[in-house]
Structure 1
Amino acid sequence: MKTSLNRRRFLSTSVKTGAGLLILRNSRLAFAYDANSKLNIAGIGVGGQGRGSLDAFHHMGNNLVALCDVDRRRAGDIYQKYPAARPYEDFRRMFDEMEKQIDAVLVSTPDHTHAVASVAAMKLGKHVYCEKPLTRTVHEARVMREVAARQKVITQMGNQGSAERRLRRAVELVWGGVIGEVREAHVWFDGGNGPMKRPTETPPVPDGLNWDLWLGPAPFRPYSPAYVPASWRSWRAFGSGIVGDFGCHTANIMFRALHLERLWQPAANPGAAKVVIRLQGWPSEVDPEGYPSSLKVVMDLPARGELPPVKLTWYAKEKPSEDLLLGHERGGWGDLLVGSKGSIYSNNPWNAHYTLLPEKKFEDFEGGPPESLPRVQSQQGEWIDACKGKGRTFSDFDIGGPLTELSQLANLACFVEGPIEYDTLSGQILNSSPAAELLHREYRKGWTL
């Protein structure tokens, strides 16, 4: 059985929402307000990726009350498009001046400033929609999840494929036992990154860009066009490489179908002092500035209740054996779960479709468990619905946090010698001081979680 969705349709439907969606107003008492109310939304990082979500929120009938970007020239057309929204370049000042006028916040900055902006918003009781990956470091992802739970705000990570009905059906099929017991999984990305050479030239900062604010909590370095506006993803100081960038997309079916979030839940591990993931990486090279050209990381994931242990292998540029595809063509991207009765495979970077393997066995398959997950029109619309008390988000930080931790652990394993033992309950690396130092980094003065 094979499902399909082309890239153009996926990207176009990921930001569309239903007409007539009515939103409540108060961010802390979401369930007590009239459904005819509107949400007052602020955007942080609106000159790039955030444009699509801002448009979606606006088209749903919500108010865009504040727009913040450190590059006023790049964001200039957005400011003009929504003139009623007050423009800012520092989100801290925006919150100081407009806290009581904001209900919810979109965070769409580069990875290294996701956490500081999102945590600041959540501590003020604001609902948060944050683009993927949730954070640049393992520790930041844990803090995001903990703050969201403590503040009881509505959250959503922007891995938009999560809203795709085919992805949700794939998860249901695995939950329903269609491919049997899963003890092996593979996730691969079509390419790596490669060593990065830090620029030695120091050109002037372009007019309109506040370079100090763009750096945010990252250690200071001079401005270079090698970083902005769009090349920061390959730099360890700012981005997460291809594994961090796309892990929250391409590993999505795998993470949910195997209930890996349970590894982070004390209630799912009663009496356990520790829950340990063991992992080791084999990168093509270790570069202090960038991410590897290619890599392989193997993780041994413990049992989750009645679900057995799983060996999960990540690849960038490298690929698993074609034999695992049981005669199906191996794509450049992959999310593959190997079960005792068959396998399920998505070759779509966003997991927007899937194939049951072997294809001959499943060619007439139409059964499976009944639908148990809600079907939605968009990731953005689901968040807005949840903010007004209708349902919950599928990528809240209870899911997005651990999924980001797992992806960033794969990155971390390529920077130090392994194997590494990571305790999901404490957020600590148990056997490697060099690895433990990479769980987080010291922020520049003026920036905190």
Structure 2
Amino acid sequence: MSSSNHSRRSFLNTTAAIAGGYWLGSTPTVRAASPNEKLNVACIGVGGRGAANVKGVSGENIVAMCDVDEKKAGEGFQQFNAARKFQDFRIMLDKLDKQIDAVVISTPDHAHFHPARQAMLMGKHVYCEKPLAHSAWEIRELTKLAKKMDIATQLGNQRHANAGMARTVEAVRSGMIGEIKEVYCAIGGSRGMPDMPTEFPPVPSHLNWDLWQGPVKERPYSPDYCPYNWRFWWDYGTGETGNWGCHILDIPFWALQLKYPNRVDLDVIPSAKEIDPQRTPKSMKTRLDFPAEKGHRALSLHWWHGSMADVFKKHNTTSFGNTLFIGEKGTIAAGFDGYKAKLDDGSKPEAPAQTIAKSPGFYKEWIDACKGGPRSTCDFVDYSGPLAESVILANAAYRSGGGFDWNANAFEASGNDRVEQYLVPQFRQGWKVDPV
């Protein structure tokens, strides 16, 4: 697939209009900090979810903070008085290039790719909130770039550090219920399809609406988009799939060592009326098929936005958590804090030995990796890039109204001529970039 992206210099056009123009050096400036030396961290997006991420790295030196909404960022800005404050991440990274070791990105989904890409091109370590980026193409680009630049990365799957997650992984891998034949994962509720905006008031003085929109097509400001409901508009968010998919699918991806699917499909085909071009759905039922690889046989992973009650009932097993592993000898129902196993013969399984070491803390994993330690558990290259891409591919199947075969090596879909438009973004002028 080809992107519509052009040169790296054109990416800076919007800043040229704002700040008189500048150019980022192509030589990375990353340095290996000693374990006892504090990192100089820049935080992009410091309100909302960003506040928790800032807190997570606050033991390091917060040297810069960037947010397009001064009101939402107010508390964070006040807490770190010594940090330089910016609205435009491009200006921040350029001006403080030599002072920044690592970058934390907590912006809305549509605004993940560009700051992450620019930071990585400059050799900065990157922590980015899930679902990593807004489209499969963006996610693949960041995955490739993380490998090329050999930097420390971490996707915001904070629950990966939960002890209960590790215990589930050990149980599945122990063979307690035999080989896994199928997995179901779901997030309940019916969030999505918000009402269409009816009022378009003036942009609040504390918000830079143009920068908030970033790379996507322009539209009039509405409080129905910002500061939160962006999540349920396709231009900005990825719905409940992007919101929860990386967290929940983390369980089977880790347990089974999953990589990329070779087929993405729909368990329930939505009507044309249900597929809204602007808004994310209230429910969806998708399926990711994986070929046999190390850690698992060929299997199907069902990802649903909706209830799994019928699945638990069908398999006569405990309704627990958000994930159900179906094995040759029984089932394991799991959530973020642990699991419940049931064997078909009625016997009680013994818990396996604990082989997964306790995490030192999800943020500390990344900080240690930045300082030359082992790669963090949700590193883009080895783990979370394929996870996030798979999650967003499920959205592409839903939006295109049908399944497709997926050639991960070629980054190519076949069997559905409607899907490419949902895989590759169309950035507006001034935000176009070259592929890696």
Answer whether TM exceeds 0.5 for this pair.
yes
Q: CA RMSD in A?
A: 2.1
Partner residue of 1:276 out of 254, 262, 287 = 262
CA distance in 2: counterparts of 1:74 and 1:202, whole angstroms = 20
Could you report, residue by residue, the CA deviation over 1:362-401 in whole angstroms, capped at 9, with x for unpaired residues?
A: 75623x2550x33113211111111112222111112211
Cα distance in 2, alignment partners of residues 318 and 344 from structure 1 = 17
Equivalent residues, number:
401
Of 110, 134, 137, which residue of structure 2 is paired with 1:112? 110
Pair 357,448 (structure 1): closer, same or farther in 2 beyond 3 Å? farther
Q: Which residue of 1 aligns with 2:123?
A: 125
Q: Which residue of 2 aligns with 1:36?
A: 36
Q: Contact 1:156–1:383 at 8 Å: present in 2 too?
A: yes
Normalization by structure 2: what TM-score? 0.87
1:266-305 matched pairs, under 5 angstroms: 276-280=262-266, 282-283=269-270, 285-305=274-294
Moved more, 434-443 or 189-198: 189-198
**1:417 Cα deviation after fit:** 3.1
State the match for 2:47 in structure 1. Answer: 47
Q: Percent of pairs identical after alignment?
A: 38
Tell me what 2:370 maps to. Answer: 387
Tell me the CA shift for residue 433 of structure 1.
2.2
Matched, 1:252 2:239: no
Pairing 1:285-434 to 2, within 5 Å after superposition: 285-305=274-294, 307-319=296-308, 320-328=310-318, 330-331=319-320, 334-346=322-334, 348=335, 351-358=336-343, 361=346, 363=348, 365-366=350-351, 368-371=352-355, 373-398=356-381, 399-434=383-418
Q: Matched residues in 2 for 1:322 and 1:433: separation?
A: 35
Cα deviations by residue, 1:21-68 (Å, 9 ceiling, x for unpaired)? xxxxx97342xx43221100000001121112212212x3x1000000
What does the per-residue CA deviation read over 1:95-143, in whole Å, with 9 as the maximum and x for residues that have no partner? Answer: 1100110000000000001111111111100000101111111111111
The letter of the residue matching 1:250 is: I
CA deviation after TM superposition for structure 1 residue 340, in Å: 1.1
- Secondary structure in 2 matching 1:87: strand
Distance 2:294 2:145 in 1: 26
Q: Distance in 2 between matches of 1:29 and 1:88?
A: 24
The gaps in structure 2 that reach 5 residues or longer are 1-27
Cα shift at 1:404: 1.1
How far apart are residue 216 of structure 1 and its match?
A: 0.5
Deviation at 1:305, TM superposition (A): 4.0
Which runs of no fewer than 5 residues in structure 1 stay unpaired?
1-25, 264-274
Q: How many Å separate the matches in 1 of 2:364 and 2:394?
A: 31
- TM norm structure 1: 0.84
Counterpart of 2:88 in structure 1 is 90
Q: Which runs of 4+ in 1 moved over 6 A?
A: none
1:23 aligned partner:
none
Q: Name the SS for the 1:78 alignment partner.
A: helix
Matches within 5 A, 1:161-200: 161-200=159-198
Partner of 1:437: 421
The answer to whether the 8 A contact 1:326-1:357 is kept is no
Q: State the 1:304 CA deviation.
A: 1.1
Tell me the alpha carbon deviations over residues 223-273 of structure 1, each in whole angstroms, 9 at most, x when there is no partner. 000011111111111111111110011111111112112x4xxxxxxxxxx
Task: Tell whether the 8 Å contact from 2:188 to 2:305 is kept in structure 1 after alignment.
Answer: yes
Counterpart amino acid of residue 158 in structure 1: G
